[in-house]
Amino acid sequence: MSIAMAIAPHLPYLRRFARALTGSQTGGDAYVAACLEAIIEDPSLFDESLEARVATYRVLLSIWDSIDLNSRVDPGDLPHERNLEAMTPKARQAFLLTTVEGFSTAQAATILKTDEAAVSALLDEAGREIANQVSTTVMIIEDEPLIAMDIEVLVEGLGHDVAGIARTHSEASELARATKPGMILADIQLADGSSGLDAVNELLQELDVPVIFITAYPERLLTGERPEPAFLVTKPFEPEVVKAVISQALFFDTRAGKSHSSVAAAG
């Protein structure tokens, strides 16, 4: 099998990971493009003795750590005019690899070019960082009552408040204007047949808050061919995945110097 064929099935999820690392679609996709360009220029970067997915993520993070290659990514494509010192640290890389991307500790160690003991230490560090995050208020946009309840319990368990639950585009607009949430967690398809993407884009004209989308079809929103979410959770979701993505979204929100006190979620 060619390297291109080995990498292709993993590209949507590589985009998800890179977007979570940078906090933006544009920045994340720029790193994925740089990763692919680097492999084309030097195929030896892709270790064919490893699982294809592990080898691909390993190249991406090698590029992430390379000052030379980072200089090829337009700073305007990254959120909050980040510099290298403000980039997602190793602890959060390990956390995202093992929670959102589902890699084992051993696989994460291979990707990060370290050992399992070091990854375990990084995960402990990430846990402490998350525990110290400032709480916020969450608005949930979810048309399935049981899923909405699950998200509500999860969000409150993380120490955040829930502003309310909306089922439709119009309900989301009314609730957001009334509560001024600090984060939006949104499903793609709402009860009235409207688009969660459209609802959120409308809300973002008035609110400047991080947004997390939940969808059963992540591949449709990870093409890199149109405006797509930076933070994405796949249905059915695991609580640790939602926790990880909320934490990462707040990581960038905090670095923006914001003082929001709310979070929104849609399912």
Residue where one domain finishes, among candidates 114, 129, 144: 129
Q: Are residues 65 and 124 in the same domain?
A: yes
Average pLDDT, the chain: 84
Mean pLDDT of 167-179: 91
Residue 55, token pair as written in the block? 């080898």
Whether 109 shows a pLDDT value over 90: the answer reads yes
Range of the domain at 261: 134-266
User: Could you say which of 95, 129, 163 is where a domain stops?
Assistant: 129
Give the CATH number, domain containing residue 140: 3.40.50.2300
116 shares a domain with 43: yes
Kindly state whether residues 156 and 247 are assigned to the same domain: yes
Q: What is the pLDDT of residue 153?
A: 92
Phi, psi at residue 266, to the nearest 5°? -130, 140
Q: What is the CATH number of the domain that holds 74?
A: 1.20.140.160
Point out the domain boundary residue: 105, 129, 153.
Answer: 129
As for how many domains the chain has, the answer is: 2
pTM: 0.81
193 and 246 share one domain: yes
Question: Which residues have CB under 8 Å from 195's CB, separation 6+?
Answer: 169, 188, 189
Q: Distance between CA atoms of 226 and 127, rounded to whole angstroms?
A: 34
Percent of the chain with pLDDT over 70: 86
